[in-house]
Amino acid sequence: MKLLQLDLQFFAGEKTEKATPKKRQDSRKKGQVAKSQDINTAIVLLAVFFILLFAGKYFYNILLYIFRHAFEDYMLMNLTASNVQVIFLDVLKELILVLAPIMAVAMIAGIIANYMQFGFLFSTEAIQPKLEKIDPIKGAKRIFSVRAIVELLKSILKISFVGAVTFSVLWIRKEEILILAQKSVGAGLATIANLTVQMGLIASAVLIFLAVLDYLYQKYDFEKNIRMSKQDIKDEHKNMEGDPLIKSKIKQRQREMAMRRMMQEVPNADVVITNPTHYAIALKYDETKSDAPFVVAKGVDFVAQKIKYIAKENEVIQVENRPLARALYSQTEIGQTIPEEFFKAVAEILAYVYKTKRKI
């Protein structure tokens, strides 16, 4: 029997269920999402090489201006502190004109790559310092884990693919490379730049293909890590709904408050229709509030006895009508007007009540 209980506890604790929306939301708040860093790298590289392809002439003109200015002006200037500062600021300004567009495109591409994977996310928990990150035992486990082996195989695969692609481009254009020495400096640099951009674009496209596969793996691994056991799901529902004992106490408290409010209305009733022992219905007619009499209190057994006791203390007339009491109890709610089929019977009772009060 104990062995069976242990088996049931084991299976209950086994994480076989998909994560609930709340678990996913909590993981997202912690910065834990399905994400492939290779997607970011590939898209950023592709964007950078595209801007080099389309804005190459712009960068070429700026770099040519820097070299021309250096040989024509800077080399003829005296070496003084003020001149060095002027040269540094001029060169820095020109380099910013070269690097700023590339950095801007890389940043935008990185934002787009992240947004494509998991949308907008801002979480400070992911960057909070944690002592477990410097734990040597856990560090060793991470190094020799299955995930580390997968990452190593991915790196080897990426290097192999990129190496094969770049070599293929160089091999196809080997004749151009072999005659570089016979070309002018400008033509040689143009050929090298063209080769670099071509290899970069093709390598980026290959990396995107590998990154998509990596993203699928990362998504699978993420789903696996956030799986929940049946017990986890039960505990989550319990936490969301609250402790059953506390909920029952709250409901009991609400019933008690509703009962007190109902009993406070009994002295204002015009009549209490009784069974006489099991049912009690307190009715009131107020033409300013409703065109028909309405129920201010009702109850069975103990509650009915309490209604009758309060009615007696406050000199509210009680009328015994067994079928009417049962029917009103089952077909009306507190604060609701009585159904039309009971108008005649209740009108006769109220007429009797008003007549009795006038005599008193």
- DSSP code per residue over 200-246: HHHHHHHHHHHHHHHHHHHHHHHHHHT-EEHHHHHHHHHHHH--HHH
String of DSSP letters for 281-344: EEEE--TTT-SS-EEEEEEEHHHHHHHHHHHHHTT-EEEE-HHHHHHHHHH--TTPBPPGGGHH
Note the pLDDT of residue 130: 62
Which amino acid, residue 332? T
Note the pLDDT of residue 10: 42
String of DSSP letters for 110-152: HHHHHHHHH-S---SGGGS--GGGG-HHHHHHHHTSHHHHHHH
Q: Is the pLDDT score of 246 beyond 70?
A: no
Q: Are 191 and 183 a contacting pair, CB within 8 Å?
A: yes
Average pLDDT over residues 278-305: 82
Q: Are 120 and 92 a contacting pair, CB within 8 Å?
A: no
- Of the candidates 118, 104, 123, 109, the residue with the CA atom closest to the CA atom of residue 40: 109
Q: Is the pLDDT score of 230 beyond 60?
A: yes
Torsion sign across C-alpha atoms 251, 255, 260, 261: positive
Note the pLDDT of residue 176: 85
Average pLDDT over residues 72-97: 82
Pairing label, strands 317-320, 15-17: unpaired
Segment 32-62, tens digit of pLDDT: 787 888 888 888 988 988 888 888 888 888 8
Residue 244's pLDDT band (cuts 50, 70, 90): low
Q: 29 to each of 23, 26, 46, 121, 330, how far by Cα in Å?
A: 10, 5, 30, 8, 50
For a pLDDT cut of 70, what percent of the chain falls above it? 87
- Report the distance separating Cα 48 and Cα 200, nearest Å: 9
Tell me which of 39-48, 207-216, 257-266 is least confident.
257-266
Q: What are 136's two structure tokens?
A: 């040597």
Note the pLDDT of residue 55: 84
Q: Is the pLDDT score of 3 beyond 60?
A: no
What is the 8-class DSSP label of residue 20? Answer: P
* Cross-strand pairs, 320: 274
Average pLDDT over residues 309-325: 82
Segment 339-356, tens digit of pLDDT: 888 788 888 888 887 877
Segment 96-150, tens digit of pLDDT: 888 888 899 889 988 888 888 887 777 666 566 666 666 666 666 666 677 778 7
What is the 8-class DSSP label of residue 74? Answer: G
For a pLDDT cut of 90, what percent of the chain falls above it? 1
Task: Count Cα neighbours of 238 within 13 Å in the Cβ-side half-sphere.
Answer: 10
Note the pLDDT of residue 319: 81
- Report the distance separating Cα 93 and Cα 69, nearest Å: 13
Note the pLDDT of residue 161: 85
Q: What are 120's two structure tokens?
A: 């907008």
Note the pLDDT of residue 7: 44
Note the pLDDT of residue 2: 45
What does pLDDT average to over the chain? 79
Segment 169-205, tens digit of pLDDT: 889 888 888 888 888 877 887 888 888 888 888 888 8
Q: How far is CA 337 from the centre of its chain?
A: 47
